Each structure stands twice: as structure tokens, then as C-alpha cells.
């Protein structure tokens, strides 16, 4: 059984002006997502600035999310690290907090081989009973999960059940689905490729766009799952200009600005991230108005 189908939001972590986590605003964000039709909440991922959270904050943010959601939708906790022992620690903490599943990014910076990738994921999987979504995002990690590696892990590690694919390489994704006979649960990691990836057997998306347009992102997925491919395609194409604007600078800098423009400010960014350029703010305004979310 899939962890979720549809649009899961890679939710931002709100911070106060002093840099501490703003749990009141975080609660508001979670409730806004659930009311908007989001099918799952992915906490402490890239968009949640997990790389700049302390160990204590990482655990507290997951626990807060789990408590507020209260089983209304699945909560998937980011648990990846470039250090296997660290990923094990985060996975255990996420399970203790009550998360429904783990999102485990490939180890960044270390330049792991495919063989060492297999060992990394095997060890992390053995540390927790929770189902795992592998996260392939070579543009950020410098490491690609080869289709053969992903297929091997899916076939040989019981709790590795899914992959978030953000490589942008449709041919690679098609090969993975062929190698697994379409049995691996596939989620798009790119908002501009939701419908194309669902056409290969994907179940939905783990989305940045959902932060500011939960209902619209849900509808792209729901239309496809209901068999209305044409509607899904139309909704996907309509979203492309805004998807591009949300990545005019590195994520989550633009989406946090977009939330501010909507009056749902998630506060400061943690360094080394900073405010986007003024011309990119104007681009966001333009595309958000055109899309109907401003």
C-alpha cells in the first residue's frame, strides 16, 4: 500500500526574527495545507531548511508536525544525511516522534559509489521499521542513484518502497520503472514534471509549489489518478511559469518570499541562504497573480 497518492507538500520551516523556530506559524502552515487538500506533509526536507536545523530542532519540528497533523494525512520525515550514522540517528528519532515514513536523501558531498549507496540505504533501513522513500536530487547532492541501484534496493530491502525523483531525467526514470515492472512507488520531485512522471506510473509529487497552491497541485495529481489525463496536462502546463519562478533562485528562497507575498510570512532564512533579488520578487508577483494565488 502506497504511503500516499497525490500532492505531498515539502513544507517550509518558519523562523522568527531571532532565528528560532516559529511553532505558532508552523501550526498555521500545517492547517492551511490540510484545509487546501494536501495529501501528505513532508517535514524537515530541503524546503524545510533541514541542513541548518540543530539535532534538537530537527526532532522537535518533526514531533510538532506529527502532533498537529494528528493522523489526518501521512507525515513523512526527512531523515537523510551525508553520514550514515547521522541518518540512522535521524531515522530513529523520526520513528520515535510518530512519523509515518522517512524521506532519505542520498549522502551529499562524500561522492559515494553505487556500491556504498546500497550499503548506506541498507544500514539506514535496518535502523527503523518505517517505510523509506529514497530521494534522488543530483543537482544538490552531486550524486545520482542509478536506476539499477534503486531497483536493487527496492527488490532487496523490504522497507525501501519508493523514490522521489528529482533528477529531471525522464529516460532514467522510465528505465527504473521498467526494471521494477512499475512496482516501485514513484513521486516526482519536480513540480514541472508531475504529469510526465505520473504517465510513467508515478503516484504524485513531493512539491514546493504546494506551499502556495495546495489545491491546484492536488488537482494536477487527482485529475491524473481519476483518469482525466487531459485535465492533468492542462493544469500542469498552466503551472509551468510559476514553477519556473519558484526556482529562479535556490529553493527555498523564492517560495519563502512567495509565502510572504501571500501574507503568510515564514520569517527569516537561515544562513547561508538570503533574500532573493528584487527583480525576482517582481517575477514572483507577476506569475503568482497570473496563476491566481496572489
| Catalytic, out of 63, 164, 256, 257 | 164
pLDDT confidence bin for 232, thresholds 50/70/90: very high
- How many domains is the chain built from? 1
Tell me the mean pLDDT in the region 160-180.
98
Residue 198 domain flag: yes
Q: Which domain, by its residues, includes 220? A: 6-229
CATH number, domain with residue 59:
3.20.20.70
User: Is position 16 annotated as part of the catalytic site?
Assistant: no
Q: Is 133 contained in some domain?
A: yes
Q: Residue 1 pLDDT more than 90? A: no
Q: How many CB atoms lie within 10 A of CB 287?
A: 21
Q: What is the pLDDT of residue 259?
A: 98
Q: What is the pLDDT of residues 18-49, one digit of tens each?
A: 999 999 999 999 999 999 999 999 999 999 99
Asked if residue 210 lies in contact with residue 9, where contact means CB atoms within 8 angstroms, the answer is: yes
Residues 114/139, Cβ–Cβ less than 8 Å: no
What mean pLDDT is predicted for residues 185-196?
98
Query: Does the active-site annotation cover 135?
Result: yes
Q: Which of 223, 207, 251 is nearest to 9 (CA)?
A: 207
Catalytic residue, chosen from 32, 135, 187, 291, is 135
CA distances from 141 to 35, 42, 120, 250 (A): 33, 19, 15, 14
DSSP secondary structure letters along 215-229: HHHHHHHHHHHTT-H
Give tens-digit pLDDT for 107-162: 999 999 999 999 999 999 999 999 999 999 999 999 999 999 999 999 999 999 99
Amino acid at each position: 500500500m502506497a504511503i500516499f497518492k497525490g500532492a505531498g507538500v515539502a513544507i517550509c520551516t518558519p523562523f522568527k526574527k531571532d532565528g528560532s523556530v516559529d511553532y505558532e506559524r508552523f501550526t498555521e502552515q500545517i492547517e492551511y495545507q490540510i484545509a487546501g487538500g494536501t495529501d501528505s506533509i513532508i517535514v524537515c526536507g530541503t524546503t524545510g531548511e533541514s541542513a541548518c536545523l540543530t539535532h534538537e530542532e530537527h526532532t522537535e519540528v518533526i514531533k510538532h508536525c506529527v502532533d498537529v497533523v494528528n493522523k489526518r494525512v501521512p507525515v513523512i520525515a526527512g531523515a537523510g544525511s551525508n553520514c550514515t550514522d547521522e541518518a540512522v540517528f535521524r531515522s530513529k528519532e523520526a520513528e520515535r516522534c510518530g512519523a509515518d515514513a522517512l524521506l532519505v536523501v542520498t549522502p551529499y558531498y562524500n561522492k559515494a559509489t553505487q556500491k556504498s549507496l546500497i550499503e548506506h540505504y541498507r544500514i539506514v533501513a535496518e535502523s527503523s521499521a518505517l517505510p523509506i522513500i529514497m530521494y534522488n536530487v543530483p543537482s544538490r547532492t552531486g550524486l545520482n542513484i542509478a536506476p539499477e541501484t534503486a531497483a536493487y534496493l527496492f527488490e532487496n530491502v523490504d522497507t525501501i518502497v519508493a523514490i522521489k525523483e528529482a533528477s529531471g531525467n525522464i529516460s532514467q526514470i522510465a528505465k527504473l520503472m521498467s526494471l521494477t515492472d512499475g512496482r516501485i512507488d514513484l513521486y516526482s520531485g519536480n513540480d514541472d514534471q508531475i504529469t510526465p512522471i505520473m504517465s510513467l506510473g508515478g503516484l504524485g509529487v513531493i512539491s514546493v509549489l504546494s506551499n502556495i497552491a495546495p489545491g491546484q497541485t492536488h488537482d494536477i495529481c487527482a485529475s491524473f489518478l481519476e483518469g482525466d489525463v487531459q485535465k492533468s496536462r492542462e493544469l500542469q502546463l498552466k503551472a509551468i511559469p510559476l514553477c519556473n519562478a519558484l526556482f529562479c533562485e535556490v529553493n527555498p528562497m523564492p517560495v519563502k518570499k512567495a509565502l510572504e507575498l501571500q501574507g503568510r510570512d515564514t520569517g527569516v532564512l537561515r544562513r547561508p541562504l538570503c533574500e532573493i533579488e528584487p527583480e525576482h520578487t517582481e517575477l514572483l508577483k507577476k506569475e503568482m497573480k497570473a496563476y491566481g494565488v496572489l
